[in-house]
Amino acid sequence: MSLTLEKAINITEKIFVIASLIFFTGAFILLVINEHIGGEVYNQNESITSLLFFSIYLILFLFIIIKKDILLNIIKLLRKEIWLLLIIILMFLSIFWSIDSYEALRKVLQGTGLIIFGIYFGLRFNLKEQLDLLSIACGIILLSSIIFSLYIPELGLSSDVKGAWQGVFDQKNILGKIITLSFFVFLFNSFNNKGLIKLGLIILYLISFIIIVLSQSKTALIVFILTNISCLIYLSIKNMKKIKRKLFICLFFAIFIAIFFIFWINQDTALNILKKDNTLTGRTTIWALSFEKINEKPLLGYGYGSFWRGRENPSKEIAYELDWAPPNAHNGFIDILLDLGIVGFLLFIYGITKIGILSWNYSKKTDKRKVDWPFAFIVLIILYNLTEETLIRENSVCIFLVLFTSIVANLTKEKS
């Protein structure tokens, strides 16, 4: 292969990856495919969404074939990270007990494609290259959201909350979620660069904070604050000696428990400040009803992506109890239990724990701040999955699943 042809392929590959990452956030496409009626979200063009997903997977397959060593490395990684392979196997097996086998197959193929894309992204590019590509994708989303919100308000502003920005998404909370992710991408990538690029990234992460506020997404703001605090604590502990580290951890947990009890005693006041009721805008009711359904099929769940079917079984009872059809449990861990049962849940918990330990060990090898990105991302997905589902979805906002598996691939590669 000539150098010119190889260079052209590499440039095309990076453009493809950037475009795919933007698509996986749900930017632009959600404005086209989703319709909001009476608080419920309807996908009006699911066939278009699936076509776009599988088009991406076809192009991905071609790049994997061109880069001959990537396919072998993907197989090697799945053999090393057996928990991830078991999750994929469980997803396929769950088709057999799903209520709609055809729909389940489509979602499983879509979800598996996302996992493979994430592994490819983590193996094909090093951490700096990943952050560079993510920064371009997030930068395009951020700047486009500003243009939409300021100049196309009928699309860029929320129709539910006056003045709230939603940018190139169909909900303000999704804008808040993706821009929170973007803030940390810009922040950690700024540690890799110097001069004008570093200045540009600093400006972008400052603008990101402003957009989080303008989205009026309280979940995004809380996750943003808690992730920043967690990163500061993490960096402080990382640079301490062993004895001081243990004392600091004990002190931190003592303060955390004290704050928790203060919040619990004064929960009405705290929730009033956040403009939330004691059901967290109905979330706790959904959780309680979801656990009732989990108890019916605790071990293996209802099948990957097969539980939430609006006013049809198996989510019909929840929809009628609430008088609306939630699209998910508003908690990623509960959704894993519904989809793949206790078996799938334990596999994911094992994976998150292992990657958290790997990210800690990896970051101790160097003082470069870019290596702390995996830890920040793990904190981000854990916090977001407490009140929203972001971890295993195969739907239009699936960037978190892609990045999670890319970090698995990257850290496993670095370890070996």
What's the CA dihedral at 351, 409, 301, 304 to 10 degrees?
160
Angle at 348 between CA 112 and CA 356, to 5 degrees: 115
User: How many other CB atoms are found less than 10 A from the CB of residue 29?
Assistant: 21
Within 8 A by CB and 6+ apart from 371, the residues are 127, 362, 363, 365
pLDDT tens figures, 102-122: 889 999 999 999 999 999 999
- 3-state SS string for the chain: CCHHHHHHHHHHHHHHHHHHHHHHHCCCHHHHHEEEECCEEEECCHHHHHHHHHHHHHHHHHHHHHCHHHHHHHHHHHHHCHHHHHHHHHHHHHHHHCCCHHHHHHHHHHHHHHHHHHHHHHHHCCHHHHHHHHHHHHHHHHHHHHHHHHHCHHHHECCCCCCCECCCCCCHHHHHHHHHHHHHHHHHHHCCCCHHHHHHHHHHHHHHHHHHHHHCCHHHHHHHHHHHHHHHHHHHHHCCCHHHHHHHHHHHHHHHHHHHHHHHHCHHHHHHHCCCCCCCCCHHHHHHHHHHHHHHCCCCCCCCCCCCCCCCCCCHHHHHHHCCCCCCCCCHHHHHHHHHHHHHHHHHHHHHHHHHHHHHHHHCCCCCHHHHHHHHHHHHHHHHHHHCCCCCCCCCCCHHHHHHHHHHHHHHHHHC
Q: Phi-psi region for residue 39, left (φ > 0), alpha (ψ -120 to 50) or beta?
A: left
pLDDT attached to residue 265: 47
Within 8 A by CB and 6+ apart from 272, the residues are none
pLDDT attached to residue 42: 45
The residue length of the chain stands at: 416
pLDDT attached to residue 358: 85
pLDDT attached to residue 249: 53
pLDDT attached to residue 369: 63
User: CA–CA separation, 142 vs 147, rounded Å?
Assistant: 9
pLDDT attached to residue 91: 95
pLDDT attached to residue 295: 93
Kindly give the parts of the chain with pLDDT less than 50: 36-42, 260-267, 269-271, 278
pLDDT attached to residue 368: 64
pLDDT tens figures, 148-185: 999 999 989 988 888 999 999 988 999 999 999 999 99
